[in-house]
Amino acid sequence: AQSVTQPDIHITVSEGASLELRCNYSYGATPYLFWYVQSPGQGLQLLLKYFSGDTLVQGIKGFEAEFKRSQSSFNLRKPSVHWSDAAEYFCAVGTTSGTYKYIFGTGTRLKVLA
């Protein structure tokens, strides 16, 4: 069955430090992968997506993610974190199991220290 795993529930980094959020997926075919961010009191906003082509994907707010098929991973990175990046981050995979739908990971909550 398709699944998405985000192994880190909470991550704390200092402002200006680099960030990597991990995401592993289980899916038989070529995956369609997404990263969303949820700021406090807000809905989810798409950061970036991958479905083909270059395995390094650029998104909004200075984020990027790299698709590694051999590791079944789609990790999110940012070279220098800003205090406004404090939020919850969700990885998701699009699936055609039965019909189109999206499976979300359990989320990683990011705290940024000033």
What residues contact 109, with CB distance under 8 A and at least 6 apart? 9, 10, 11, 87, 88, 89
Residue 43, interface with another protein (CB under 8 A)? yes
Exactly one of 53, 54, 70, 99 binds another protein (CB under 8 A); which one?
Answer: 99
Annotate 76-114 with DSSP letters as a single string: EEESS--GGG-EEEEEEEEE-SSS-EEEE---EEEEEE-
Residue 3, interface with another protein (CB under 8 A)? no
> Considering beta carbons, is residue 15 or 88 the nearer one to another protein?
88
Beta bridge partners of 13: 112
Exactly one of 107, 110, 111, 114 binds another protein (CB under 8 A); which one?
Answer: 107
Query: Binding residues for another protein, per CB under 8 A?
Result: 4, 6, 9, 32, 34, 36, 41-46, 49, 51, 90, 92, 94-96, 99-102, 104-107
